[in-house]
Chains A and B, each alone.
Chain A
Amino acid sequence: MVLEIKDLHVSYGSIEALHGISLELDENEVVALVGSNGAGKTTTLKAISGQIKVSSGDICFNGRSIIREKPHKIAAMGIVQVPEGRKIFYKLSVRENLMMGAYSLKDKEEIEKNLNMVLSAFPILKERFNQSGGTLSGGEQQMLAVGRALMASPKVLLLDEPSLGLAPLVVETIAEKITEISNLGIPILLVEQNANLALELSSRAYVIETGNIEISGVSDELLGNEDIQKAYLGIGD
C-alpha cells in the first residue's frame, strides 16, 4: 500500500473535523475522495501533508508513519500536493514556479528531464515561460499547479479540487491530463466536489460526509447506483 490512512481523527480546537476515517491508495490507482463542502476533504489532505496536527490514528507512506513529520519533509518524500485554489506563486515567473516544484530534487538532470516532460505535456506553459504566474488564466494556472507538482518526481499525487472554478472545456483538459499522469504510474488521490468527474476518473472512491467515510467502493458501481447518488453525491434529480 503506497498510502494508508488508519482511523484518522483531526480536531480544530475543541471541534472534531474527522471522526476516524480510513483510506487506502495502492500503486497504479486513482482513488477519489468525494463529498460536499465542509465534509473534511481538505482536512484529510492537510493531515497527509503535515499541515495540521493529527489527534489520533495514523498515516503511513510505504508502510512508514508520517504523522510526526514536518510538511517540507513529507513533500521531499515525494508526497506532492496540488493545493485547492492552485496557489500559484503569482509574482514568480512560470519557470520559477516550476522550479519551486523541483525544490527538493538535487539531481540537475532529473530536473531538466521533468521540465521537458511538463512542457511537452502543457505546451501553454512553454509559451508563458517567462511571464509571472499571476498573469495566467485560471485554467493555465491549474495546469501550472499540476506541472509544478510533476516537477517534484512525485511518488503520490494529491489533487485538491482540480476542477474548482474552471470552465467545462478546461475541466475536460485537466481530466485528460489526470488520466495521462496516472498512466505514467503515479498513484493519485483525487479530492473533488464534482462527484461525477471524480468517479469517472477514478477506479475506487470514498464518500466523506461530516468527517466520516459513509460509503466506499468501485467508482463505476457508485456511479451506477442511483440511491447512493441521491443520498450522497447530489447527482440525479
Chain B
Amino acid sequence: MYLQQIVNGLTLGAIYALLALGYSMIFGVLYFINFAHGDIAMVGGYVTWFVAASLKMNFVLAIFAGIIVSTLLGVAIEFIGYRPIRRAPKLSAVIVSMGFSFVLSTSVQLIWGTRSLSMPIFTNVKTFNIGSIIINSKQIWILVIATVIMVLLTLLINKTKLGMAMRAVALDQSTSALMGVNVNRTISATFAIGSALGAMSGIMMAAYYGVIYSTLGGLIGTKGFAAVVLGGAGSIPGAMLGGMLIGIIESIAGTVFNAQVKDAVAFVVLILVLLFKPSGILGKDVMKD
C-alpha cells in the first residue's frame, strides 16, 4: 500500500517540483518569493483548457499555447511589477506579487467563471498493474515529461552560457554587468523559463485530476512554496527534492489519516521546516534582508 502511495506521491511530487523550480529560480536571482507564480501556472492550465476544450484544437498545441501565454505573462509581470522596485526592500516585491496573484485569479474568474471546468486529456487512460502497484498512463506521462524537463533544465543551468550568466547574476548582479552580462535580460530569461515550468505544472495538475478552477493557483502555489522551503530556497536540486518529498508526504498522509488532511500536510511541513531548519535541506543561508 505504501509503495502505491509512493508512486502516486511521486507523480504529484513531480508536478510540485516543476512549480517549485520556477519559484526557486526567481528567488535565486531576485531574493523574493513570487506569490503570483502559482497563478501564472494556473493561467497556463486555463489557456490549455480553452484551446483544447473550447476551440477543440489539438491537445499538444493547447499545451504549447498555455506555456507561451504563461511565459509572456511571467516576463511582463517582472517588467511591469518588479523591475521598477528592484532596489526597494524585498517585502515590497512580495506584496506586489500577492497583488498580481489576486489580479490573475479574479481575471480568470471574470473570463471563464468560478465553476470547475473539466480538463480534456489527449490520451485514453490505460491502467497497468505492476505487482501490487497500479499505475496509469497519465502518471507515466507526467513522470516522463517532468523528468525530461528537469534533466534539460539542469543541463541548461550548468552547461550553457545563459545558465552560467543566470548563476552569476544570482550571486552578484553588478559584477555580472562588469563582465558584459545584460542583467535585465538575464532576469527576464529567468522569469520566462520559470513561468514556462510553472505552466507545465499547472497543465499537468489540471490534466491529472481532470479539472481546473480559478483557485488552483493558490493551492498548488502554496504547495510549491512549501516544497521550495523544504528543499532550500534558491537551490535547483533542492526544489526538485522538496517537490517530490511534499508529494510523497501528502499521499502517505492521505492514506494514514484521511483525504481531507492531505492538503494541510504541506503547511505542517512548511511550519516545521521554518521552525527547525529555515534554510531547508539543500539551502544556503540566503535570508540576507
A binding-site residues for B, Cβ under 8 Å: 49, 51, 70-72, 75-76, 80-81, 83, 87, 89-92, 96, 99-101, 103-104, 148, 152
B238, chain A: closest CB distance, angstroms: 14
Which 5 residue pairs across A and B have the least CB separation, nearest first? A104-B180, A71-B177, A75-B180, A87-B175, A103-B180
B180 touches A76 (CB 8 A): yes
Q: How far is the CB of B186 from chain A (nearest CB, A)?
A: 10
* Chain B interface residues (CB < 8 Å from chain A): 161, 164-165, 167-168, 171-172, 174-183
Query: Are the CB atoms of B172 and A103 closer together than 8 Å?
Result: no
A68 to chain B: closest CB distance in Å?
15
Is the beta-carbon distance between B165 and A103 smaller than 8 angstroms? yes
Q: Judging by beta carbons under 8 Å apart, are A152 and B175 in contact?
A: no
A75 to B178, CA, bound (A): 6
Q: Which residue from B168, B177, B180, B183 sits with its C-beta under 8 Å from A89?
A: B168
Tell me if B172 and A72 are in contact (CB < 8 A): no
Contact between chains at B180 and A83 (CB < 8 Å): no
On whether the beta carbons of A103 and B181 are closer than 8 Å, the reply is: yes
- Closest residue on chain A to residue B173 by CB atoms: A71
Apart from A100-B165, A103-B180, what are 13 other A-B pairs with CB-CB below 8 Å? A72-B179, A72-B180, A72-B183, A75-B178, A75-B179, A76-B180, A80-B178, A92-B164, A99-B161, A100-B164, A100-B179, A103-B161, A152-B179
Whole-angstrom distance from the CB of B152 to the nearest CB of chain A? Answer: 20
Q: Which residues of chain B have C-beta atoms less than 8 A from A81's C-beta?
A: 178
> CA of A152 to CA of B181 in the docked complex: distance in angstroms?
12
Instruction: Report which of A70, A91, A103 forms a contact with B179, defined as CB distance below 8 A.
Output: A103
Which of chain A's residues have a CB closer than 8 A to the CB of B179? 72, 75, 100-101, 103-104, 148, 152
Q: List 25 A-B contacts (CB under 8 A).
A: A71-B174, A71-B177, A72-B181, A72-B183, A75-B178, A75-B180, A81-B178, A83-B175, A87-B172, A89-B167, A89-B175, A90-B171, A91-B167, A91-B171, A92-B164, A92-B167, A100-B165, A100-B176, A100-B179, A100-B181, A101-B179, A103-B180, A103-B181, A148-B179, A152-B180
